[in-house]
């Protein structure tokens, strides 16, 4: 067993002492998993094994090289999984889950990897890849973001979080779920759609308050120019409510037909979520955000990426989402 484990992870045979330690690890709960984790995070794995595994995975790669800019709450998890299957390799996932690995990839400039995905600014992705993204009606995305921020307070089995981080997340979620939507909308720092498509100003850190301030100061003509440059990197896009268009986009950008999307992150029932009223002030603020982001969709349309939504189409999507997520209009 030890030779198999070391052969798979470290690409070598286990030494005598390592064989003994591996055998002992089977006798105690949690020790085997801990040993495997130590091997995967070791310098030996990074230096001696990982480069060979990467070369093997990308050797003579002749397929498409793709990045997926995953704007949260746009059905992106389903798109990501379908894209991984269609491209045929694991993705380098840009979600800040393992900062040391992400930093290593940035420093090494491993742009040969075929598929990069994540909640990242467009400037973070390799410049020679074809881009894909998914848009969603602005007000609907904000409603969904609010409900998602409170979901952690109701989840029984969250995963991929250590106990300290989990408690912090749950505390933040409890605060959100007890905060009226209108108050949250005016006080929370959230990344709007535009923030993913505008490269940070030099000296401005992405996701910072300074970056948000920078975006707000850009003139309309300057904004349009920046968006034209950023969206020129995308060869495919779709609206989140248009599944056939999403499937076509994934098929075309990957070069392999995709016929269905996995159903991931389906919203749980609303039991436990306090009902929320969208009063005139909240609706006015949502409409302001929608107006601000309309330039993004206009430029995307001019690049041939998505059709423009009519006012009635956008309003219908907003009302359907509000009802589904337990909002009422005051």
**Contact between 317 and 214 (Cβ < 8 Å):** no
pLDDT mean across residues, the chain: 85
41 and 135 in a single domain? The answer is: no
Report how far residue 175's alpha carbon sits from residue 177's, in angstroms, rounded to the nearest whole number: 6
Average pLDDT of span 299-316: 98
- Which pLDDT belongs to residue 101? 54
Answer with the residue of higher pLDDT: 271 or 158. Answer: 271
Domain that includes residue 190, residue range: 61-329
34 and 139 in a single domain? The answer is: no
% of residues, the chain, pLDDT over 70: 87
Report how far residue 302's alpha carbon sits from residue 76's, in angstroms, rounded to the nearest whole number: 23
% of residues, the chain, pLDDT over 90: 47
148 and 34 in a single domain? The answer is: no
Answer with the residue of higher pLDDT: 288 or 330. Answer: 288
84 and 148 in a single domain? The answer is: yes
The residues, any chain, with a CB within 8 Å of residue 109's CB and separated by 6 or more, are none
179-196 per-position pLDDT tens digit: 999 999 988 756 678 999
- Does the pLDDT at position 308 exceed 80? yes
Helix or strand (DSSP H, E) at 291: helix 280-302
165 and 187 in a single domain? The answer is: yes
239 and 258 in a single domain? The answer is: yes
Secondary structure string (H, E, C) spanning 204-256 = CCCCCHHHHHHHHHCCHHHHHHHHHHHHCCEEEEEECCCHHHHHHHHHHHHCC
| Cα-based torsion angle of the residue sequence 217, 220, 222, 224 in order, rounded to the nearest 10 degrees | 130
CATH number of the domain within which 133 lies: 3.40.50
Of 14, 40, 55, the position where a domain reaches its end is: 55
Report how far residue 141's alpha carbon sits from residue 281's, in angstroms, rounded to the nearest whole number: 18
- Which pLDDT belongs to residue 135? 98
- Which pLDDT belongs to residue 43? 84
Report how far residue 184's alpha carbon sits from residue 176's, in angstroms, rounded to the nearest whole number: 7
43-57 per-position pLDDT tens digit: 888 777 876 776 666
Answer with the residue of higher pLDDT: 50 or 17. Answer: 17
- Does the pLDDT at position 207 exceed 80? no
- Does the pLDDT at position 320 exceed 70? yes
**Contact between 81 and 246 (Cβ < 8 Å):** no
Average pLDDT of span 94-110: 56
Of 55, 72, 96, the position where a domain reaches its end is: 55
- Does the pLDDT at position 172 exceed 70? yes
Answer with the residue of higher pLDDT: 8 or 291. Answer: 291
- Does the pLDDT at position 97 exceed 70? no
Give the number of domains in the chain.
2
Phi/psi for 93 (5° steps) reads -95, 120
Strand, coil or helix: what is 51? helix
73 and 40 in a single domain? The answer is: no
Lowest-confidence segment of 81-95, 129-143, 243-257 by average pLDDT: 81-95
- Which pLDDT belongs to residue 104? 58
Task: Show contacts of 4-7: CB within 8 Å, 24+ apart.
Answer: 5/36, 5/39, 6/39
DSSP 140-208: HHHHHHHHHHHHTTT-SS--S--HHHHHHHHHHHHHHHTS-HHHHHHH-----GGGGTSPPPTTPPTTS
Lowest-confidence segment of 30-39, 68-77, 90-99, 228-237 by average pLDDT: 90-99
Q: How many helices (H) and strands (E) does the chain have?
A: 15, 7
Of 39, 55, 71, the position where a domain reaches its end is: 55
104 and 176 in a single domain? The answer is: yes
126 and 10 in a single domain? The answer is: no
- Which pLDDT belongs to residue 53? 74
265 and 201 in a single domain? The answer is: yes
271 and 233 in a single domain? The answer is: yes
pTM above 0.85, yes or no: no
- Does the pLDDT at position 272 exceed 90? no
**Highest averaged pLDDT of the listed ranges 101-115, 209-223, 255-269:** 209-223
51 and 126 in a single domain? The answer is: no
């Amino acid at each position: 067993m030890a030779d198999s484990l070391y052969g798979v992870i470290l690409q070598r045979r286990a030494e005598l002492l390592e064989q003994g330690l591996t055998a002992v690890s089977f006798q105690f709960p949690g020790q085997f998993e801990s040993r495997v984790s130590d091997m995967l995070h070791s310098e030996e794995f990074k230096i001696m094994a990982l480069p060979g595994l990467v070369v093997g995975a990308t050797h003579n790669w002749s397929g498409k090289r793709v990045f997926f800019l995953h704007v949260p709450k746009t059905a992106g998890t389903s798109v990501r999984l379908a894209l991984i299957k269609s491209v045929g390799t694991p993705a380098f996932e840009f979600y800040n889950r393992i900062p040391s690995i992400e930093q290593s990839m940035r420093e090494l400039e491993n742009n040969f990897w075929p598929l990069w995905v994540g909640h990242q600014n467009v400037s973070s992705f390799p410049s020679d890849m074809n881009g894909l993204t998914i848009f969603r009606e602005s007000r609907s995305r904000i409603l969904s973001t609010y409900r998602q921020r409170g979901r952690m307070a109701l989840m029984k089995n969250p995963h991929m979080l250590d106990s300290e981080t989990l408690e912090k997340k749950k505390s933040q979620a409890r605060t959100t779920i007890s905060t009226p939507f209108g108050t949250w909308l005016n006080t929370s720092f959230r990344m709007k759609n535009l923030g993913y498509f505008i490269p940070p100003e030099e000296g401005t850190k992405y996701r910072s308050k300074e970056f948000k301030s920078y975006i707000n100061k850009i003139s309309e003509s300057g904004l349009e120019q920046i968006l034209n440059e950023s969206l020129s990197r995308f060869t495919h896009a779709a609206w989140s409510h248009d599944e056939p268009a999403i499937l076509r986009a994934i098929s075309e950008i990957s070069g392999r037909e995709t016929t269905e999307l996995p159903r991931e992150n389906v919203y749980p029932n609303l039991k436990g979520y306090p009902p929320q009223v969208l009063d005139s002030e909240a609706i006015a603020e949502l409409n302001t955000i929608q107006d601000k982001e309309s330039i993004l969709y206009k430029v995307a349309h001019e690049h041939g990426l998505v059709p423009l939504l009519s006012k009635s189409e956008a309003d219908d999507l907003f009302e359907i989402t509000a009802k589904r997520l337990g909002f009422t209009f005051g």
